[in-house]
Amino acid sequence: MLPLSVFIIAYNEADRLPLVLEALDGLADDVVVVDSGSDDGTQDVARRYGARLIEHPFPGYGPQKRFAEEQCRYSWLLNLDADEVMSPALRDEIASLFAAGEPEADAYEIAIHEVFPGEDEPHPFGYALTPVRLYRRDKGRYNPSPVHDRVDLSQGAKVARLKGRIRHISVRSLGHQLEKLNSYTDAQVRDLEARGVQVTTLRVFLEFPGAFIKAYFGRRHFLRGIYGFMTAMNFAFYRYLRVAKSLERRRLRGKGIEPK
């Protein structure tokens, strides 16, 4: 077992969480699952796999992950989402970092590859995000933003990138994806308002085609055939909806109506 804490925030993840926890078997003896009121048995799954379950109302992505950080025992932290499965190669790579003592860097970026329904593995040339997910708690903390869950590192922190990857099983179905993205837009609009950011009217016309091009070509969804086209359309609608909701709320307030 490594001197490492793994933390996961979860809500209604009883179907995907077992894959995440099985991939962690034997890596760390401090696995923390922070649940925000699941009603599908997620809590039982966490206990069954030996994780330390903590229930905490969801205040937003950044604040929830900061709360989870504070529950961890060790100085080295690994964050996974409840739909992210580490590969065996990544597991072995992390273990090797600690084989000779303290890892050389202060934080490590890890490639996260999306896996769509019907796929067993990510497309070899598919798009990947590479956020910091393994880090020393005295060198980084999750940003407190309710919508942007990223690790803010202290000045001068040494960052390296691992070769292993994470399988991101983010989409249960197209309908589930739209439902999740719609909920994101509500949180994002509130965040924009809190920061005093106003989107321009022009964006309501440009956001959908621009976001589709970004997803279909920039994020290489075209490699995934018809399903890639459909998920790119969902992404474009999500980006458009964020702009539309923001403009709607501003319009209603201009007429003296408080948006719901």
- Reported as a single tens digit per residue, the pLDDT across 176-215 is 999 989 999 999 998 898 888 889 999 999 999 999 999 9
Q: Are residues 140 and 232 in the same domain?
A: no
Choosing from 145, 168, 191, the residue where a domain stops is 168
Q: Is residue 18 part of a domain?
A: yes
Last residue of a domain, one of 168, 196, 219: 168
* pTM given for the model: 0.91
Q: Is residue 260 one of the residues assigned to a domain?
A: no
d(CA 153, CA 258): 38
Let me know whether 38 and 142 are in one domain: yes
Domain end residue (candidates: 134, 168, 202):
168
CB neighbour list of residue 167: distance below 8 Å, 6 or more residues apart: 84, 85, 86, 87, 113, 115, 121, 122
Structural domain including 246 reads 174-254
Same domain, 102 and 154: yes
Does some domain include residue 259?
no
**Same domain, yes or no: 7 and 125:** yes
Q: Confidence class of residue 70 from pLDDT cuts 50, 70 and 90?
A: very high
Give the model confidence (pLDDT) of 21-64 as tens digits.
999 988 999 999 999 999 999 999 999 999 999 999 999 999 99
